[in-house]
Amino acid sequence: SIQFMNKLLKFPKAQFPKLVFISDMHYTHDREFLWGDRGFASVEKHDAFLIENWHKHIDEDTVVFNLGDVVFRDPDAKKFEFISNLPCKAHYMLFGNHNSGSKEVYKAKVKSILGDQMGEDFELYPVPHNNVIFCGEDLAIRVGKKEIHMSHFPKRIWDHMAGYGKSIHLSGHSHGSDEERNVASTKGRCLDVGVENALKYSGNIFFTYDEIIDIMETKVVQQLDHHDENTTPSR
């Protein structure tokens, strides 16, 4: 398995002012424990709100970072095709633990690029499809001078968390149940940007970049190992 991915994508803050972060949409997830806990009377009303909220706030000038678990039970990828055509400037997407639809599309795209000789386990990133850009399981970006690390699963330690720049880590997966990753926690510059937390914070299905920066101002940098300003030199 081989991956090709830029280590750090750079976004000038002035050039890309509309950045949003989302995880765990679970579009068409037909279990009441999911849509019911989010405050909806049915999966249909839940899904309609996801799409309505997207169209209301996300447009062709918005860059979306999606941290996984996008659709549910989608072996023919029709649901994912719909999501991949939602309006945005770019839709950077990570894999989670529910990858139905997205993995089928990704594998087909890689096969079309590399051919059969590379085998099913060969990975290539980034790979574009409609408005989506597949980025694997991890993505690091810099917005201006602010470094942000992203993955579907929460990480306890990530690069530069207590060293140069005091970087941020964003994740999903926990649906608001990891208290130390929620908005109110002051432990560490990290956040679960899943739909549950976003709905509680703003009523939207995502966090904006500016909202995340405001939230991080309330959190204390944690140093959990020997890495600090002295072990990680400035660039």
Low-confidence ranges of the chain (pLDDT < 50): 1-2, 224-226, 233-235
Residues 22 and 197: their CA atoms lie apart, in Å, by: 10
Q: How many CB atoms within 10 Å of residue 56?
A: 9
Residues 161 and 87: their CA atoms lie apart, in Å, by: 33
Strands 146-151 and 168-171, bridge-based pairing: parallel
Question: How high is the pLDDT of residue 22?
Answer: 98
Question: How high is the pLDDT of residue 166?
Answer: 82
Question: How high is the pLDDT of residue 57?
Answer: 97
Which distant-in-sequence residues (6+ apart) come within 8 Å of 108 by Cβ? Answer: none
What is the pTM assigned to this prediction?
0.91
Residues 51 and 205: their CA atoms lie apart, in Å, by: 10
Per-residue tokens: 226: 């020997």
Question: How high is the pLDDT of residue 150?
Answer: 97
Name which of 232, 211, 9 is nearest 126 in CA terms. Answer: 9
